[in-house]
Amino acid sequence: MFSGNYAGKSRPDSRIQDLVNGIDGMPKIILERKEFFVFFANEVYPRLNEELSTLSCLYSPDRGRPAENPVRLLAACLLQFCERLPDRQAAEACQFDLRWKLALHMNLEDATFHPTLLTKFRNRLLEHSLERLAFDICIGMLIEKGWIRRGNSQRLDSTHVHGLLAVMNRLECVRTALKKALVALEGTPYPPGYWNTMWGEYVLGKVDFKSNVETLKKKTLEVGMAVAEVLEFFGNSPQMELPEMKLLGQIFQENYELDETGSWSQKPKSLPGSIQNPHDPEAQWCTKSTTRDKSWIGYKVQVCETVSETARPRNEPTSNFITAVVTQTATGSDEAGMEKVFVQLEENDLGRPDRLYVDGAYVSGEKLAEAEQDGRELRGPAPPPGGRQELTSDHFQVDIEGRKAICPAGHASTNFSRLAEEATGNVTYRIEWNQKLCQICTCAEKCVGKNQNHRSLLVREFHMHLQKRRNEMGTKEFKEEMHRRNGIEGTQSELVRGYGMRKARYRGLAHLRMQNFFIGTACNVKRLARRMVWEQKKDAKIS
């Protein structure tokens, strides 16, 4: 059980401090980056310790063995991501690394915990919806110190995360799902002879993937028929409520269909958002033309950070900090991710940033109009106009409020119709010009399509906001301003290279969300440590 007797110790063991600093005649130990661990002990751990009452709720007060200090476990998880260590090495560091003992307020004689305790502690955080506790504590500390202020200019971008799974073809995926279901069903009533055959084929047996294409297609159809028989046999029985059976049914529906003869056959291709690996059903396949590997199976993460309006001198640590981390499915849109970022910022009492720098994936006419209405600025390039003609909609002067438009040749439109979709509520405008004018116009070859006798435009409700932004994009001031957005690419590189954000440590969207919150917290803590140490050294030189 958790007794709550850990709040009294507010400072680390002085003997460890002496060993780290090498004072009072103690042997001097040269420890790399000792300033960070001293900062962690003096600034971060006390903040985490303030949430002792919140963390004590993770444990039952009258059941089980005495619990490890939950504040120390939370701090150890945070240090683990700062140093990019697995559970076993993190537990060993708590035992043998004096820097970790100092940071975690431990005595020299304190024994470490078993590595599996970190896994169980993270699961408790998820069960109690406290996966972002450390991140929120860090944000509160940064707000209190004045590094993050409400309405700060910020920048936002997304990057992809590879799931903790192997890439499977559809035959492997279905066989693995069937194997998991059969193992979960072991011991339930089933025809004995047929059960032994299926168990030997799909639980104990393996497929030779060096076989020819026809053999593999036959194997794919055979496993599909086996799944259909299993699902049909159990029907509406209680066993169908097992997670493995639900997963098997979903994978079967995604990969097989009834053909014209009434028999099950394999679908020509996988549907978007379909399960790629039964061990992590939430990981999805997605592709992006701007990434080096083009496609991945996993998730997507949105990272938002503050941005300084003035450039910092060379060798000066950054004063920008991560304010929001949102984890999505791989196929989630950036616009939806931006809205979740806003929600997270508002939950931390930061509000929506007055100026947000983004790339073109976040910019639309609707979002530009929404930002303008709220008194904010959404700074990013607008998507290019559609259409096959050389003269696109940007070459036309469109006035939606006045219900008129002027073509590049100076002719006014003759028809301006408003079209509203009942299902979605989207509004578009159809603009047309006189047929006789278009036929004699000098711009007809560039303006009118081959199979058209006059020019027509179809624009969305917020077309004028997009047109204004596209005209602004050609100015020198806009191009220079967008340099501030580019810094988010460096932040993502830091998160990927320094903290391992590119690859998932755990399976499932919830666990990956917790991982990314810890990564964002670790990045903020190390940035703050570097900044404060730099400022202290700077002040010491001046004095």
| Residues 73 and 219 placed together within one structural domain of the fold | no
Which DSSP string do the residues of 280-344 spell out, in sequence order?
Answer: STT-EEEE-TTSTTSEEEEEEEEEEEE--SSPPPTTPPP---EEEEEEEETT--HHHHHHHHHHH
Pairing of strands 427-432, 415-420: antiparallel
The chain-wide mean pLDDT, for the chain, equals 86
* CB neighbours of residue 330 within 10 Å: 23
Tokens in use for 322? 């991560």
Do 121 and 64 belong together in one domain? yes
Q: What is the pLDDT of residue 278?
A: 95
- What is the count of structural domains for the chain? 4
Residue 208: per-residue pLDDT:
85
- The per-residue pLDDT for 177 is 94
CATH number at residue 517: 3.30.420.10
Residue 351 and residue 427 in one domain: no
2 found inside a domain:
no
Residue 12: the pLDDT is: 64
pLDDT digits (tens, 9 = 90+) for 436-485: 788 778 787 788 877 777 787 778 888 888 888 988 988 999 999 999 99
Residue 182 and residue 69 share a domain = no
Tell me the residue type at 492.
Q
The DSSP letter of residue 412 is B
Residue keyed to tokens 């967008």: 482
Q: Does residue 469 fall inside a structural domain?
A: no
Length of the chain in residues, anyone? Answer: 543
Note whether 340 and 366 are same-domain residues: yes
Beta partners for 416? 431
Residue 3 lies in a domain: no
Q: Same domain, yes or no, for 371 and 517?
A: yes
Q: Which of 35, 31, 4 is nearest to 317 (CA)?
A: 35
Residue 543 included in any domain:
no
Low-confidence ranges of the chain (pLDDT < 50): 1-8, 23-32
Q: Please give the pLDDT value at position 198.
A: 85
| Angle, in degrees to the nearest 10, between helices 509-542 and 133-145 | 30
Residue 351 backbone zone (phi > 0: left; psi -120 to 50: alpha; other: beta): left
Q: What is residue 2's predicted lDDT score, i.e. its pLDDT?
A: 41
Distance separating alpha carbons of residues 360 and 362, to the nearest angstrom: 5
pLDDT at 315: 82
Same domain (yes/no): 71, 200: no
Per the rule left: phi > 0, alpha: psi between -120 and 50, beta: everything else, 303 is beta
How far apart are alpha carbons 516 and 81 in whole angstroms?
10
Alpha-carbon distance of 44 to 386, in angstroms, equals 51
Its domain, for residue 85, covers 14-130
Whether residue 542 is contained in a domain is answered as: no
* Same-domain pairing of 261 and 295: no
* DSSP 8-class letter at 393: G
Distance of alpha carbon 376 from alpha carbon 156, whole angstroms: 15
- How high is the pLDDT of residue 25? 44
Structure confidence at residue 476 (pLDDT): 92
Q: Which two tokens stand for residue 223?
A: 């496993």
In single-letter form, the type of residue at position 452 comes to Q
For residue 219, being part of any structural domain is answered with yes
158 in the same domain as 116: no
- Asked if the structure places residue 212 within a domain, the reply is yes
Q: Which residues are CB-neighbours of 450 under 8 A, at least 6 positions away?
A: none
Q: How many CB atoms lie within 10 A of CB 351?
A: 13
Residue 212 and residue 300 share a domain: no
Last residue of a domain, which of 198, 233, 266? 266
* One domain, residues 260 and 312: no
pTM score:
0.88
Within this chain, do residues 72 and 56 fall inside the same structural domain, yes or no?
yes
Residue 535 domain-assigned (yes or no): no
